[in-house]
Amino acid sequence: MKLYQKIVVVGAIAMGVGLSLIGCNSSPKTLDGTVKEEFGTAQRIVESSGALFGNESVKFGDPIYGLVLKTDEGDYVLTINNRSKKPITSLAKAIEPGDMVRINYDSSTKIGNDRIGKTDSDTIELIWKCYTNK
């Protein structure tokens, strides 16, 4: 076998091994948890009924929304960044304590070892609704 043939064979083997290792790690990372608590201004805006000051519209700033999730590893405290596909005011209306949600990690999901972090609203999926008698 000539030298260039050996180089081609070794390169092909290395590329095959590299691609197989990438394939082994392709499953997306998720975090499943039960909503223990909601916090922030978006939740209060959704809960508010009627105008605050007659017919006037008052803006207090950008809404903030967060979740405390109970998981097998412990509680996670997450601030949710507002994105257009799933606005945080819609999430605040749809999600209640007791519901189960899944966070599908993406490049914006930043969670520290202390289980405190942030993610985008588009990464949240409501996977089980806890219907309570209100």
Domains (range + CATH), the chain: 29-128 (2.40.50.140)
- Global confidence as pTM: 0.68
Separation between Cα atoms, residue 14 and residue 1, nearest integer Å: 18
Identify the residue with better confidence: 131 or 41.
Answer: 41
**From start to end of 1-134, where are the E strands?**
30-39, 65-71, 74-81, 100-104, 110-111, 116-120, 124-128
The pLDDT assigned to 69 comes to 97
The pLDDT assigned to 16 comes to 58
User: Over the stretch 35-58, which tens digit does the pLDDT of each residue have?
Assistant: 999 999 876 665 555 555 555 555
Read off the tokens for 10. 């070794």
Q: How far lies 59's CA from each of 27, 43, 53, in Å?
A: 42, 15, 11
User: Over the stretch 5-41, which tens digit does the pLDDT of each residue have?
Assistant: 667 666 667 565 555 554 455 567 999 999 999 999 8
The pLDDT assigned to 84 comes to 85
